[in-house]
């Protein structure tokens, strides 16, 4: 396996933006750097990508500090193929999830050979590498601090690792194949031995089989003679069977003819009954000819009267339809005036309501102006508090810096005192010899200076705490002022809205009188019906025309009843002449149907007689061929 490239994201010490490591063309590489700079992490990334294992016990420990996921993309060359392994880890509380992809380079593009599960994909990678993780860290790679990993393993484990390195498993495979082929050859030999034993057993019974053959030949001669007799009998029975089939066919054909003639006879009988009914109807119609003529004339007179009344009704309906349209137009005009009146009344009510709000709006506007003045004062106070807050912050920062300087100087004095005590009779700074009095003077000087600096340091600390309290109070007051000032924009919007509403209310007060006068005018028009004069004139004319038509609905109802009662005379008049012309022709058809009925009855009698003769012959043939199956069975 030859590494080609490695890309990391959020793996151990490597964060989000990491350049890829390109090893193509590199035959020998040396990773150099200080401890903790990620040299071993690169090898861990390769082993984790290939086997899902590294120096740590938990995969989540490999995720970069503060990240939720990591990814390793590793490409390597093995034999003539280039492979790519992409392994990802997602942290999810105490349980995380890992995804694994395995790809091979095919015609310039990587093709996925990932299995259905992560476990199966890992097995495919191990099968491709011919190497487990333990074998790798005991042969090609030695873990940091575990150089004796291989020698500390049990003998069986060392043997297994060496076997994988030297590919000794191939010889185990060849041994198993040889054993399998030996077992198959032994099984085949046992089968052949059993077959030979059966063959020898059958050969020992040859005399017995020859005696059976002689007896069988004698029995065959006797059966041959009996077969000739039975075959002769079978031919006779088969001939009779054929004749039976012919006779049954004839009988079936006669039955078909008889059924056909019976159907035709039934049809002719129905036509006879139909002709008789028609002749009776024609005769009855001809007997009622005088009454039919009188009723028909009455029907014609009623039809003429109904046509005149229908014309008058149609004219009346058209005029009433026109009247309805005019009435609807008048109603629409009245409705439109009512709508205009209602709209104007609503407008007047809205104007009066808006005008009534003027005084209230002026009061609200005054309140808003007062609040705006208060907020202007608050904003000035906020600016003062902000400046005070900045001064306190600067004072605290200056005191803190000075305190830090005092602390450093006190630490330096402490170190000088320590050196002075350790140096005994010599100056720790210049190395010159010191007398006891000089040494004590220096110590007293350092101690006095340290006490002064310490007092000043504690004074600064107390002042810083006091200033911090003042700063917190000032910041709170400033934040409260800013919270109050935050409503300034909305308050200005409210001021603009109130000014606009007040102007509208004052304008509405000026429009109230005009709108009230328009409303009184509409009420007067509705009360006096002062609308649509043209439609009212046309309505009066239509009422006069309707009165002049003179349509009588009761007379029309009587005419309709007369028409309904005499309607059958119209139909009877139409069939009177055809009945006179058709009576003779229908009588002639009746005679022809009766003659055809007699012929069909005679034919049916002849067919019945022939069927009876054939049924007798068929019965005889069935008796003669009853044992055909038994004879045929004996012959076979």
CA separation, residue 201 to residues 157, 193, 196 (Å): 58, 13, 9
Identify the helix (H) or strand (E) that includes residue 85.
strand 81-90
Residue 8, pLDDT score:
94
Question: Are residues 108 and 240 located together in one domain of the fold?
Answer: no
**Does pTM surpass 0.75?**
no
* Range of the structural domain that residue 119 is part of: 2-129
Question: Are residues 281 and 365 located together in one domain of the fold?
Answer: no
User: Where among 501, 525, 551 does a domain terminate?
Assistant: 501
Question: Are residues 496 and 366 located together in one domain of the fold?
Answer: yes
Question: Are residues 93 and 214 located together in one domain of the fold?
Answer: no
Q: Where are the beta strands (DSSP E) in 91-211?
A: 97-106, 109-112
Here the tokens at position 196 are 């030979």
Residue 158, pLDDT score:
62
Residue 94, pLDDT score:
73
Residue 352 has pLDDT above 80, yes or no: no
Q: What is the pLDDT of residues 231-241, one digit of tens each?
A: 676 677 677 77
pLDDT band per the 50, 70, 90 thresholds, residue 149: low
User: Where among 501, 536, 565 does a domain terminate?
Assistant: 501
In what order do the strands lie in the sheet containing 69-78?
A: 21-22, 2-9, 69-78, 81-90, 97-106, 109-112
Here the tokens at position 606 are 């002849």
pLDDT band per the 50, 70, 90 thresholds, residue 480: confident
Cβ-count burial 553-579 (b if 16+ within 10 Å, e if not): eeebeebeebbeebeebeebbeebeeb
Quickly count: other Cβ atoms within 10 Å of residue 43's Cβ.
18
Give the list of residues 6+ apart from residue 529 with CB closer than 8 angstroms, or none: 536
Q: What is the pLDDT of residues 67-97, one digit of tens each?
A: 999 999 999 999 899 999 999 999 887 778 8
Indicate the SS3 state at residue 341: helix
Question: Are residues 267 and 368 located together in one domain of the fold?
Answer: no
Q: What is the pLDDT of residues 551-589, one digit of tens each?
A: 777 777 887 787 777 777 666 666 656 666 666 777 777
Question: Are residues 489 and 363 located together in one domain of the fold?
Answer: yes
Residue 353 has pLDDT above 90, yes or no: no
Alpha-carbon distance of 128 to 50, in angstroms, equals: 11
User: Where among 96, 111, 129 does a domain terminate?
Assistant: 129
Tokens 């069986």 correspond to what residue?
156
Cβ-count burial 590-606 (b if 16+ within 10 Å, e if not): beebeebbeebeebbee
Here the tokens at position 32 are 């150099």
Q: Does residue 635 contact residue 234 with C-beta atoms inside 8 Å? A: yes
Question: Are residues 276 and 378 located together in one domain of the fold?
Answer: no
Average pLDDT over residues 147-176: 63
Question: Are residues 393 and 479 located together in one domain of the fold?
Answer: yes
Share of the chain above pLDDT 90, in %: 12
Here the tokens at position 416 are 């000088």
Residue 85, pLDDT score:
96
pLDDT band per the 50, 70, 90 thresholds, residue 419: confident
Alpha-carbon distance of 318 to 602, in angstroms, equals: 74
Question: Are residues 380 and 472 located together in one domain of the fold?
Answer: yes
Q: Rg of the chain's alpha carbons, rounded to an integer?
A: 65
Residue 219 maps to a domain: yes
Of 130, 150, 153, 154, the residue nearest 142 (C-alpha): 150
Q: What is the pLDDT of residues 285-329, one digit of tens each?
A: 666 667 666 776 777 777 777 777 777 778 778 877 877 887 788
Residue 627, pLDDT score:
61
CATH number at residue 452: 1.10.287.510
* 387 or 202, which is more confident: 387
Residue 342, pLDDT score:
83
Of 268, 271, 269, the residue nearest 586 (C-alpha): 271
Residue 180, pLDDT score:
87
Alpha-carbon distance of 305 to 301, in angstroms, equals: 6
Here the tokens at position 443 are 């110590």
Sign of CA dihedral 421, 427, 430, 432: negative
* 332 or 364, which is more confident: 332
Residue 163 has pLDDT above 80, yes or no: no
Q: Does residue 350 contact residue 500 with C-beta atoms inside 8 Å? A: no
3-class secondary structure for 47-77?
A: HHHHHCCCCCCCHHHHECCCCCEEEEEEEEE
Cβ-count burial 143-172 (b if 16+ within 10 Å, e if not): beeeeebbeeeeeeeeebbeebeeeeeeee
The domain total for the chain is 3
**Average pLDDT for the chain:** 79
Residue 534 maps to a domain: no
Indicate the SS3 state at residue 98: strand
What is the widest separation between alpha-carbon atoms in the chain?
A: 180
Q: At what angle do helices 358-423 and 436-485 cross, to 10 degrees?
A: 170
Share of the chain above pLDDT 70, in %: 80
Q: Is 496 exposed, middle or buried (0-12, 13-18, 19+ CB in 10 A)?
A: exposed
Residue 574, pLDDT score:
65
Average pLDDT over residues 242-266: 80
Question: Are residues 614 and 482 located together in one domain of the fold?
Answer: no
Average pLDDT over residues 146-158: 62
Residue 51 has pLDDT above 90, yes or no: yes
Residue 205 has pLDDT above 60, yes or no: yes
């Amino acid at each position: 396996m030859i590494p080609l490239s490695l890309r990391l994201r959020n793996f151990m010490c490597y964060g989000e933006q990491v350049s890829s490591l390109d090893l193509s063309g590199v035959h020998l590489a040396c990773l150099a750097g200080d401890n903790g700079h990620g040299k071993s992490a690169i090898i861990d990334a390769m082993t984790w990508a290939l086997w899902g294992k590294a120096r740590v016990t938990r995969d989540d420990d490999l995720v970069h500090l503060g990240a939720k996921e990591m990814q390793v993309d590793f490409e390597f060359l093995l034999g003539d193929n280039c492979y790519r392994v992409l392994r990802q880890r997602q942290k999810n509380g105490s349980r995380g999830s890992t995804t694994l992809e395995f790809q091979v380079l095919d015609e310039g593009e990587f093709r996925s050979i990932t299995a259905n599960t992560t476990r199966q994909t890992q097995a495919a990678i191990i099968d491709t590498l011919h190497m487990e993780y333990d074998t790798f860290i005991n042969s090609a790679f030695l873990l940091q601090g575990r150089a004796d990993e291989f020698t500390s393993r049990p003998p069986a484990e060392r043997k297994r690792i060496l076997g994988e390195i030297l590919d000794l498993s191939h010889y185990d495979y060849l041994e198993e194949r040889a054993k399998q082929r030996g077992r198959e050859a032994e099984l085949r030999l046992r089968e052949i031995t059993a077959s030979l034993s059966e063959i020898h057993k059958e050969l020992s019974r040859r005399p017995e089989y020859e005696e059976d053959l002689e007896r069988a030949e004698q029995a065959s001669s006797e059966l041959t003679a009996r077969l000739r007799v039975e075959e002769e009998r079978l031919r006779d029975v088969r001939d009779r069977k054929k004749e039976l089939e012919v006779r049954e066919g004839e009988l079936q054909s006669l039955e078909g003819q008889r059924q056909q003639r019976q159907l035709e006879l039934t049809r002719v009988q129905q036509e006879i009954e139909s002709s008789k009914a028609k002749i009776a109807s024609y005769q009855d119609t001809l007997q009622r000819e005088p009454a039919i003529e009188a009723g028909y004339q009455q029907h014609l007179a009623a039809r003429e009267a109904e046509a005149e009344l229908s014309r008058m009704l149609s004219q009346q309906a058209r005029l009433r339809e026109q009247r309805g349209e005019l009435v609807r137009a008048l109603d629409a005009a009245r409705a439109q005036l009512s709508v205009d009146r209602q709209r104007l009344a609503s407008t007047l009510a809205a104007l009066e309501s808006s005008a009534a709000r003027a005084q209230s709006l002026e009061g609200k506007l005054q309140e808003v102006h007062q609040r705006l003045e208060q907020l202007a004062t608050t904003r000035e106070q906020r600016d003062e508090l902000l400046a005070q807050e900045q001064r306190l912050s600067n004072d605290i920062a200056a005191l803190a810096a000075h305190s830090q300087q005092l602390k450093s100087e006190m630490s330096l004095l402490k170190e000088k005192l320590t050196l002075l005590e350790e140096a005994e009779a010599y100056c720790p700074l210049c190395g010159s010899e010191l007398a006891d009095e000089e040494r004590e003077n220096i110590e007293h000087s350092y101690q006095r200076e340290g006490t002064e600096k310490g007092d000043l340091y504690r004074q600064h600390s107390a002042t810083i705490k006091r200033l911090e309290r003042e700063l917190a109070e000032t910041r709170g007051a400033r934040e409260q002022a800013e919270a109050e000032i935050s409503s300034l924009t909305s308050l200005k919007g409210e001021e603009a809205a109130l000014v606009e509403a007040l102007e509208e209310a004052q304008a509405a007060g000026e429009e109230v009188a005009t709108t009230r006068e328009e409303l009184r005018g509409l009420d007067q028009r509705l009360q006096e019906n002062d609308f649509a004069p043209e439609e009212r004139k046309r309505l009066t004319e239509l009422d006069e025309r309707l009165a002049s038509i003179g349509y009588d609905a009761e007379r029309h109802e009587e005419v309709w009843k007369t028409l309904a009662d005499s309607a059958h005379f119209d139909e009877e008049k139409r069939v009177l002449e055809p009945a006179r012309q058709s009576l003779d022709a229908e009588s002639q058809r009746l005679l022809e149907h009766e003659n055809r009925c007699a012929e069909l009855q005679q034919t049916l009698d002849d067919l019945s007689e022939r069927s009876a003769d054939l049924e007798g012959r068929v019965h005889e043939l069935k008796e003669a061929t009853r044992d055909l199956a038994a004879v045929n069975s004996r012959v076979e």
